[in-house]
Structure 1
Amino acid sequence: MRFIAVIPFLIAHALSQTITINTTSGQLTGTQDDGVASFKGIRFAHSPIGNLRWEPPVTFLSSDIQNATSLGPSCVQQFPFQGQALIEQLYNPHAPPEDEDCLFLNVWAPAPMSGPLKPVIVWFYGGGFVFGTASLPTYDGASFAKNQDIIFVSLNYRTNVFGFPTAPDLPASGNNLGFLDQELALAWVQDNIAKFGGDKNQVTIMGHSAGSGSVSLAITRRNSSATRPFRAGIMLSGVQVSTSPHLNFSNFNALATALGCMQPPGPQRLQCLRNVPASTIRSYTNGPNSGGFTPGVDNVTTFGDPLQRIRTGQIAPIPILIGSMEGDGTVSALNGPQNLSAFIAEQLGPVGGLLLPPAVRALYPGLSDPQVIAAVERDVGPVGAFFSRPTLRREKRERIMIVHSKSPAKLWSDAFVSSGIKSVYRYTYGAVFADMQPFPNAGAWHGSELPILFGTFNQSTATSAEAQLSQNLQTAFANFAKNPEDAPPVANWHAYEPGLLGVALIPTLAKIAYHGNVDPDNFIELVDPLSTDGPCIVWDPFLDFRE
């Protein structure tokens, strides 16, 4: 019996073959199997440990042979204190072990890697900037490469205090290290992707949640004349909104004190902290006394007013595909107040006093208070709401606000169109499958579209409807990456046009897979944006303001 069980493994192994290509990271030995060449665990930066902890990433160059057959480790993770088990189950299942030495990327390419150069998608993972890894099985790029004739790249970037320390010991421009990791990986793609059959001039950056926010930040940190390593962006449930330009160093100072580094902020304290093992730092940041560590405004990688930058043309004027989930708020609402009055007070602070519960209920007729709260989280709530419950109070927003909700997607879409960018495609996703309901009334929850998009859904439990939607959704997104300027992702998907009260509009908001519609001719249903955006009139001022 043992011999028989080994036979499938031996056959599969025999069908695959090794393949080697030369890159700036060395001679990479990967595998070629079932029409896909894969190269995993490619080092693009030197290990950010020791004196390189809290330093910008340093380009890794080598001419040596490198084994590129295994996914790299996760960066050091920080998980929420409330709902930790569920968050790990939903967003970090089967993740590889963590290591501070984690700056690796992965490439999947159609095999053989010859012929005309192909479009490229580069993937940024989510995780609220405190956890996440490119090495999750969900993010396997083989389906995109095989079925869409696209080069797919995923990358690791440092998270939490290792990637976004917000430390007074560092220059402001040296605090958002995770974004510098992303930028170095994009530079690696420009230097090397042709070796895999990819076209460096046809790169689309795509991300989910904080990864989607990373895409939005990459767009807003480049002006219209800047050279940019991408030509289009896909944002799944996450963009940056208005943020206070002030930095708050309290969480880093508290960490230094807790770890026994009592020097005043500066080089000596930083060196003391660099001598602390990563495991000790992780124990603190995953304990009850740590705050969160997420990006802050530095006016280099991040700016406090992204919407105004879009409207005034201070961004990369590229095509975008942007959207949100019908149930984007169900996960984040689980561990917060279930009483609407308490929710408004916690999330909105003093300005919330202007919004009485009856007025909020009126925005969502027929829903119970817990359902209203989930709807508000869907429309306006912060992506990190399940992590230390960051509020929408303006005076508390010293860290970059990446929100996964409908109103931010609307604001970004409206701003892009108003600035003259025509290729804007906006969607809302509503597919609900029985085998993808991890808690009651989860619905189309935050991130549930990812296995469908990547083609990595559970084959043993999935229905034919899931398989059909996976094929259609992946093809639509790949179509956008292949031709973002001149053709829609799906034949009947019109470019987005904002809604104006009292004015009849053509339908331009794509509802994806609502009411069980998964077939090629109906999985996209276009509706008037006003049919879903009504509550955003109330919430937009909390997300779009000037300081």
Structure 2
Amino acid sequence: MKPVNLQLLSFLIFLPFVISSLDVRLPTGILRGITANGTERWLGIRYALPPIGDQRFKAPVPVTKRSNSIIDASQFGNACPQPEDASLNAPIKEDCLFLNVFRPQNTSSDAALPVLFWIHVRQYTTGAASNPLYEPSQILARSVAINKPIIFVSINYRVNTFGFLASSLVSKEDLNAGLLDQRLAMQFVQDNIAAFGGDPTKVTIWGQSAGAGSVQAHFIYPPSKSLFRAGIGNSAVGPFKNSPDASTFDKPNKPFSRLLANTGCSFGPSALECLRAVPFETLLNISNTMVLGTLNMQLWQPAVGPPGSFVPERASRRIKANDFLHIPYIGGTNLNEGKSFSSTLQNLGLSGRAEDEAFVNFIGHLFIDNSTITPDVYRAFLRMYPANDTSLDAPFNTGDSLYDRATAWYGNEMFLAARRLFVGHASALQPTFAYFFTEFIPGNDPARGVAHATELPLLFGHIPEVASIETDFAQKWQEFYINFVNDLNPGEEWPTFSKNGGSLLQLMRDNITVIRDDFDAAKTAFMNTNKILNEFQK
């Protein structure tokens, strides 16, 4: 996906101690916001104490100290620790638990607008709310244009080693700290969004990829107190591509064991204390090396812990037991989800047995612990995704047999099957809307097709000139989501999934239409059997 060129933000400069219309008083201080791109915004709002020192790897702690001080809210907060990436648009620091609030210009503090709460993407290992792609001014402008204004909130949460450190040594209260960060940010919104003109009873959480998986995680593992009333998941991962028990990470050559070896710490009661004492830059460099050396950077995945932890059992078990929040949900997938994750197999020139072995090796290395995958499962996938099958990932089949097999398998296993499992159960219990995005955007790489995340420039309104033909379609999709945030229904054109035995809305320019959810059905049904879910630890 090409970089998105955005208009530079223009900042208002306020003299010290001058009362501003963009001052918002919270118990923890007076936030001084800015106006930019037709929106009012408060950036870099601290929602938790710095997770540093003794708080490294621990559950987030809310900010409770009361203050009357003026706090500059004109710049994004630090991005959480991860490999350097220009798209972060912020410094990388361990002190990174910040959120941002955007509202339409001239919104009154008593407007009580619905809230769209964005959880950023990228495999639970990278990403930040400060990425310019997630700048929401076009979404807010569209909401005003159709007389359904909303407030937009985006958050940072800890990722990779700093947010998802997993081991039998990590206390149940601290496991999956990144998900706990998200939950605390939602609690902050409940406590404070009214001061910005938002309605805490009308919060919709939205994410894409790992962000969408996070949305599902909050449906499946909710807190005792309601924090949102609906969810949207673009290309959700189900909620996790792989979720072994925390103790699995302790095994030889697994992430926690390797982290100890790389830092010189030893396994035992003092291991976490030792890791907390490692200088930040040292730990960051070690973590980054491990992340970048892992297929698709998926070094850590949310782990299953004991009772009392955020994830006390596998998600698939709860989904099949209908044990999740029964509130409105939108979820869908893209035509070619797997292409972005299978590039390591492209142009290898293999055939015959060597090609099959490379395909099996690719599947096995996508999981933290592949020792649970039995040979008959690999054989089944070799039969389902045969060599030189031109139907795989069509109409964007490349003719590169190994790559096409991997992309089709990955898209079905990690995204389509995951969507069908959750939506299939949810649709009988709550208003559920499903989609299939099939629009190839001009300027994108045909070898990637309708790839993972290619809808985000449309939804956020950052459409390059070469794809300007997509503007009307993009605005229509925005309106579906804005309607849902306001009314818990995307509109008359989009039927619930339960109607007509499983109806999807095909999202394609000039061809938004209802289609049957029956493609690759036998393959995803196999992937959603208890055998596969258990062996893949989902």
TM bin, normalised by shorter chain, reads 0.7 to 0.9
Q: For 2:528, what is the secondary structure of its paired residue? A: helix
TM-score between both structures, scaled by the size of structure 1:
0.81
Match of 1:538 among 523, 526, 535: 526
Structure 2 SS opposite 1:434: coil
Give the secondary structure class of the aligned counterpart of 2:87. Answer: coil
The aligned residue for residue 462 of structure 2 is 456
Counterpart-to-counterpart distance in 2, 1:11 and 1:217: 37
Displacement of 1:494 in angstroms is: 0.7
Residue 262 of structure 2 corresponds to residue 258 of structure 1: yes
Contact 1:173 1:301 in 2 (8 A): yes
Match of 1:416 in 2: 426
Query: Is contact 1:123–1:205 with CA below 8 Å preserved after alignment?
Result: yes
* Equivalent residue runs for 1:439-518 within 5 Å: 440-458=446-464, 461-484=465-488, 487=489, 489-497=490-498, 505=500, 508-513=503-508, 517-518=509-510
Quote the offset at 1:279 in angstroms: 1.3
DSSP 3-state at the match of 1:331? helix
Q: Could you tell me which runs of 5 or more consecutive residues in structure 1 were left unpaired when the two chains were aligned.
A: 1-7, 80-87, 381-402, 499-504
Match of 1:361 among 386, 403, 407: 386
Please, which moves more after superposition, 242-251 or 198-207? 242-251
1:463 partner SS: helix
| Aligned match for 2:121, one of 101, 121, 126 | 126
The 1:188–1:258 alpha-carbon spacing in structure 2 relative to 1, beyond 3 Å, is same
Which residue of 513, 516, 525 maps to 2:513?
Answer: 525
1:95 and 2:89 are equivalent in the alignment: yes
Bigger CA drift: 288-297 or 131-140? 288-297
135, 140, 146: which one aligns with 2:141? 146
Q: Does structure 1 conserve the Cα–Cα contact (< 8 Å) formed by 2:22 and 2:34?
A: yes
How do 1:378-393 and structure 2 match up within 5 A?
378-380=411-413
Normalising by structure 2, report the TM-score: 0.82
Residue 327 (str. 1) matches residue 336 (str. 2): yes
Q: Is the CA contact 2:442–2:467 (under 8 Å) kept in the aligned structure 1? A: no
What is the aligned counterpart of 1:23 among 4, 26, 29?
A: 26
After the TM superposition, which residues 240-251 of structure 1 pair with which residues of structure 2 at under 5 Å, given as runs? 240=239, 243-245=243-245, 247-248=247-248, 249=250, 250-251=254-255
**Superposition CA RMSD, Å:** 2.9
Q: Percent identity?
A: 28
User: Which residue number corresponds to residue 234 of structure 1?
Assistant: 232
Residue in structure 2 matching 1:352, options 371, 374, 377: 377
Partner Cα distance (1:425, 1:104) in 2: 31
Task: Determine helix, strand or coil for the equivalent of 1:234.
Answer: strand
Q: Shift of residue 534 of structure 1?
A: 4.4
How many residues are matched?
479
- Residues 109, 356 of structure 1: alpha-carbon distance in 2 compared, 3 angstrom cutoff: closer
1:306 alignment partner in structure 2: 315
Once residues 88 and 52 of structure 2 are traced to their aligned partners in structure 1, the CA distance between those partners, rounded to angstroms, is 25
Asked if the contact 1:329/1:374 (under 8 Å) is kept, the reply is yes
Letter in 2 for 1:173: E
Change (3 A) 1:10 1:216: closer
1:282 is aligned with what amino acid? L
Are the counterparts in 1 of residues 190 and 227 from structure 2 also a CA contact under 8 Å? yes
8 Å Cα contact 2:11-2:74 kept in structure 1: no
Higher deviation after alignment, 202-211 or 461-470: 461-470
Matched with 2:3 is: none
Q: Distance in 1 between matches of 2:10 and 2:90?
A: 26
Letter aligned with residue 376 of structure 1: W
Instruction: List aligned pairs for 1:429-440, cutoff 5 A.
Output: 429-437=437-445, 440=446
AA partner of residue 25 (structure 2): N
What is the one-letter code of the residue matched to 1:436? Answer: N
Looking at structure 1, the residues matched to 220 and 388 of structure 2 have their Cα atoms a distance apart, in angstroms, of 32
Cα shift at 1:278: 1.6
Deviates more, 1:38-47 or 1:368-377: 368-377
* Residues 476, 490 of structure 1: 8 Å contact kept: yes
How many Å separate the matches in 1 of 2:47 and 2:9? 32
Tell me the equivalent position of 2:352.
none
Q: Is the 8 A contact 2:76 2:100 kept in 1?
A: yes
Question: 5+ residue gaps in structure 2?
Answer: 1-6, 15-19, 144-148, 349-354, 365-372, 393-398
CA distance in 1, matches of 2:24, 2:194: 11
C-alpha separation between the residues in 1 aligned to 2:127 and 2:416?
23
Shift of 1:281: 1.0
Q: For the residues of structure 2 that align with 1:539 and 1:310, how far apart are their CA atoms?
A: 15
Residue in 2 that maps onto 1:37: 40
Deviation at 1:462, TM superposition (A): 3.7
**Which letter maps to 1:469?**
F
Preserved contact between residue 122 and residue 204 of structure 1 (Cα < 8 Å): yes
SS of 2:340 mapped into structure 1: coil
1:71 counterpart = 2:76 = yes
In structure 2, the partner of 1:216 is: 216
- Counterpart in the other structure of 1:5: none
Q: Summarize the alignment of residues 179-198 of structure 1 with structure 2, pairs less than 5 Å apart.
A: 179-198=179-198
